[in-house]
Amino acid sequence: MAEIIVPELAESITEGTIAQWLKKPGDTVEKGEFIVELETDKVNVEVISEEAGVVQEHLAAEGDTVQVGQVIAIVGAGSGAPAATPAAPVEAAAPAPAAPAPVVAVEEDASTSDRTIASPAARKMAREKGIDLAAVSPVDPMGRVRVQDVEAHGTAPKAQPAAVAPAASVVAQDDGRVTREKMTRRRQTIAKRLLEVKQSTAMLTTFNEIDMTNVMALRSRKKDQFFEQNDVRLGFMSFFTKAVVAALKKYPYVNAEIDGDEIILKNFFDIGVAISTDGGLVVPNVVDADRKNFAEIEGTIVELAKKARDNKLTMADMTGGSFTITNGGVFGSLMSTPIMNGTQVGILGMHTIQRRPVAIGDNIEIRPMMYVALSYDHRVIDGKDSVGFLKMVKELIENPEDLLLGS
């Protein structure tokens, strides 16, 4: 008999949600075969069976929260036939204990701060203020608690009870006109992270518009040759990624983050690309974008998008980004104010291309125009740098030959 145990998922991840059982009680499983899919804050992980045999029992149901190290299934010896007998009692036993057990485990885990990843400065402040680090909600996507998270924690508790109270009255008045569904773990994480960024940063957005005439003409001339040579299509994302990298090199504080009373300037250029999936928005990274050519950037984005939609992204794909690009234009957005990603201090928002009249010298011409937005943390970036950064991106896209020469 073998136990299926939730494995170590990542340094800062201590729990997950059972997304799907790939093997039911009574099914035969081979050694090394996937038995269950777990959903974590960032990625989905498939867990294998270490032994061959028959699945005898599920100790947690789909949708349950489970902890690292928790036993979630039992695999016994035999082939598919003997499983008919253990399958019947499982159905009777499963409903009662499955749901409450993970909830208790979460509460017990939350009371221990020794497993919380935190900076030394954050630990010191928490000790001085008597704050349990496990109760602090970090902005860092990897769960690392920083000084600003501890500072923000003091104001958070009073705001939450007020929000919870009305929910009870809504339940009482529910007359069938609404449908309630439990948020997925990923959606809960997205909601929490975005709210934390809004509450813990001095976020501001500056706008500009780009004449896309030249870059569209260049792309139209080169796209067939580019595809033949590289087996990947030439899109606008590679141009914007190249422009962003060049602007980050000139304005290094846009490629930074805050840790306590220190600013960390990043000497690498891992550009996050926001990708929409059925499970929510994910932001994998084009690592070392400054060292990649146009074809490598386009190929990496295509690969990451496929992995995102197939739930195959790894933690390595999702962590370590220094700046993010999001393109609401694929959904028709004309203008927006994107929210920064995690501890980053800047995000570029692209939007739909729209033909509209523009003054060119003394003449009015119809040009393909795109609004762009830079949301940034005003604690780190001053208006001069934010405007200069966005203006440089604009100039490089409007003169794409400069990007080609630079690469």
Q: Which residues are catalytic?
A: 378, 382
For 2, the enclosing helix (H) or strand (E) is strand 2-5
CB atoms under 10 Å from CB of 278, counted, come to 8
CA distances to 223, 234, 271 from 226, in Å: 5, 7, 22
End-to-end Cα, the chain, rounded Å: 58
**Helix locations, 251-345, DSSP H:** 294-309, 315-318
Q: Contact 130/154 with Cβ under 8 angstroms? A: no
Q: What is the DSSP string of 46-92?
A: EEEPSS-EEEEEESS-TT-EEETT-EEEEEESS-SGGGHHHHHHHHH
CA distances to 220, 238, 241, 350, 391 from 397, in Å: 15, 11, 10, 12, 10
CA distances to 75, 239, 275, 284 from 294, in Å: 49, 7, 19, 18
